[in-house]
Amino acid sequence: MKKLFALVVVSLGLTACLKSIPPVPTLGEVQLPVVGEETIWTSTDYKGKPVFVVFMGSWCPYCKMTMPAITAVAEEFGDRVEIVGIFMDNDAEEVKAVAKEHGLTVKALYDGSDVAQSLGVNGLPHAIVFDKKHRAIKTWEGFKPTLADEYKEALAKVVK
C-alpha cells in the first residue's frame, strides 16, 4: 500500500511538472507584406527549410545596429535559410528607407505586430531561429556586438 501511495504521489508530481513546461513556439502560418514588392511573404512556402526572423522597428536604434549582423548572416546562410526582417511598422516606405540606410539586404516585411505578439516578443530587436519543422530553437532579445557570431553559430547547427 505504501508503494502504491508513493507511486501515485510521484506520478502526480511529474504530471504537475510537465504541465508547467511551456510548449516550444512554432512559426505557424505567417503572411506579411514585403517592402518594395506587391507580394505577401508566407512562412508555409518554406516548409522543410530553416527560417530566421528578426523583429524590429524603424524607430529602434538597437534594431538599426543589428542590421549589419543580419546582412552578414544572410551572406553566409541566405541560400540555406530563409532570413527576413519583420518590422512592427505599418508604413512600408519608412521601413524601406531605414533598411536602405542601414544596408539591410534581406526581405523586409512590415505590419508584424500581431505576429510578434503571437510569438511572445516583448522587446526589440528580437531574433528567432526556427528549425526545418519551424520550431523555435534559439532566441535573442536586444543588441550586443557579438550578435553576428551568435547568429552564425546557431544557424550552422540548424543547416546540418
DSSP E strand boundaries for the chain:
31-33, 40-42, 51-56, 82-87, 107-109, 126-130, 136-141
Question: In which band, very low, low, confident or very high, does the pLDDT at 3 lie, cut at 50, 70 and 90?
Answer: low
Q: Average pLDDT, stretch 42-61?
A: 97
Fold for domain 25-158? Glutaredoxin (3.40.30)
> Cα separation of 26 and 57, whole Å?
22
Question: In which band, very low, low, confident or very high, does the pLDDT at 25 lie, cut at 50, 70 and 90?
Answer: confident
| Cell numbers placing 49 | 527549410
> For residue 67, is pLDDT > 50?
yes
The tens digit of pLDDT for each residue in 84-143 reads 999 999 999 999 999 999 999 999 999 999 999 999 999 999 999 999 999 999 999 999
Q: 156: left (phi > 0), else alpha (psi -120 to 50), else beta? A: alpha
pLDDT at 19: 53
pLDDT at 8: 47
pLDDT at 136: 96
Using alpha carbons only, how large is the chain's radius of gyration in Å?
19
> Cα separation of 21 and 23, whole Å?
6
Question: In which band, very low, low, confident or very high, does the pLDDT at 160 lie, cut at 50, 70 and 90?
Answer: confident
> Cα separation of 94 and 87, whole Å?
10
